[in-house]
Structure 1
């Protein structure tokens, strides 16, 4: 599938992974909608690149549909990328004082990283199904963001690991569900990616995580995530799987 001439939404498009993806797809000729809640960053990208910014709450059906409708107005809608962030509640299942983890901390994280991802997935899938098929019946691709925490979550990461594990679990089933419609579903499971969100802590995190990555001995880059998104879009035989992007890192228990 060609990126050029297609329209795309990037949910979380003002964040580190999202902005890099917006830039990569735009440079490849896609008409990109930045779907996020960071108005200043979104409007700055709109002004710089000529992309469209649509304020988008990933939990809200009408909000997500508005971003999709904007993408459809720009050209054939072919690509949905979801890399939105949110609260990552944590803590041990039983604290040092013997108290159980708060249920609210778990449900908030599950809502943000799993339920909202499902919301974007279902609405994007319905819109992609409306598009005219390309060769071999292809209509488009959905790319969601998991995490290597889905496979080896660390102590204190139970809610986040469960949410991202859910994203991994959805991928193959969604791909099978959507295969008659010519829609592919893929996931990316990043390891430690050094993004601008870390601010002043970025150097400290690099010093801690970099040496633990087998090769290359550094944290990942947002541009590497974006490059993988582009490769997935262009390779029609990538479907129903989650690709780790981690330099062979495996999280230790803590």
Structure 2
């Protein structure tokens, strides 16, 4: 897929991995729709990325009606939808039992699953619906690509990460069947599973915490860059034979228990 002049949706597109990906796509010539709940950040991002080719939609990824309406806005504005990248998510931490042996609140687990897993699936299925009615691209025959964001915690969840690991493991597990479901329509599905990335949330931590995280990465011994995530997403778009894959982006890191 040639990303020049295509239209892409990026959820969580106003910060972190999502913003880096949206920026890379705009630099490559794509139209970008930012799905996010932060209206102030949305207005700023549209200004920075260029209002002619960037659209902000306030969207809760769990809400079917909001996502449908936003996708309609996108297709009306830009005329096509070829790429959907799901970066919206949360990273809660809570042990199953606290020091007093009281169980963690159930709603925290449910919220992580709803936003990270159900939200990704919700946006993916509705984006696929919009992609399916488009003419296939030549010469590949593809109609679109969905990229979901998992985490290496989906393989090696640490202490306190039951909810987060379950949500990201679910994304990993649905990658292949989703790709198989949509293959007849020429829609590909891939997933990126990043390790410790230098997002604003992590960079706000003290230097000694960042240094400790970096020290566990075999090579290169540093935090991953959001721009490296974005570069992989763009590569997945341009490499039409990459389908049904989950790619770790982690410097060979395998997470310890804590």
TM-score range, shorter chain: over 0.9
Q: Which residue of 2 aligns with 1:96?
A: 99
- Asked if structure 2 preserves the Cα contact closer than 8 Å seen for 1:210 and 1:219, the reply is yes
Q: Report the CA distance between 1:75 and its aligned residue.
A: 3.4
Matched, 1:52 2:49: no
Q: Which residue of 2 aligns with 1:232?
A: 236
Report which stretch shifted further, 194-203 or 213-222: 194-203
- After superposition, the Cα gap between the structure-2 partners of 1:89 and 1:114, relative to the gap in structure 1 and judged at 3 Å, is same
Matched, 1:170 2:158: no
Q: What are the superposed Cα offsets for residues 125-168 of structure 1, whole Å, 9 maximum, x if unpaired?
A: 11111111113420010000000000000011011100100000
Q: Which residue of 2 aligns with 1:182?
A: 186
- Asked if structure 2 preserves the Cα contact closer than 8 Å seen for 1:147 and 1:191, the reply is yes
Query: How many residues were matched structurally?
Result: 253
Report which stretch shifted further, 48-57 or 209-218: 48-57
Q: What are the superposed Cα offsets for residues 55-108 of structure 1, whole Å, 9 maximum, x if unpaired?
A: 11111112212332233231321000010023x443223333233333222111
- Asked if structure 1 preserves the Cα contact closer than 8 Å seen for 2:202 and 2:210, the reply is no
Q: Report the CA distance between 1:37 and its aligned residue.
A: 1.1
Q: Report the CA distance between 1:112 and its aligned residue.
A: 1.4
Matched, 1:64 2:67: yes
Q: Which residue of 2 aligns with 1:204?
A: 208
Q: Which residue of 1 aligns with 2:9?
A: 9
Report which stretch shifted further, 18-27 or 91-100: 91-100
What is the DSSP-based 3-state SS (H/G/I as helix, E as strand, rest coil) of the residue aligned with 1:244? strand
What is the DSSP-based 3-state SS (H/G/I as helix, E as strand, rest coil) of the residue aligned with 1:193? coil
Q: In structure 1, list runs of 5 or more residues that go unmatched.
A: none
- After superposition, the Cα gap between the structure-2 partners of 1:218 and 1:195, relative to the gap in structure 1 and judged at 3 Å, is same
Q: Which residue of 2 aligns with 1:79?
A: 83
Q: Which residue of 2 aligns with 1:24?
A: 24
2: distance between equivalents of 1:164 and 1:199?
A: 22
1: distance between equivalents of 2:16 and 2:149?
A: 13
Q: What are the superposed Cα offsets for residues 198-242 of structure 1, whole Å, 9 maximum, x if unpaired?
A: 353163332111111100000001000000000000001111011
Q: In structure 2, list runs of 5 or more residues that go unmatched.
A: none
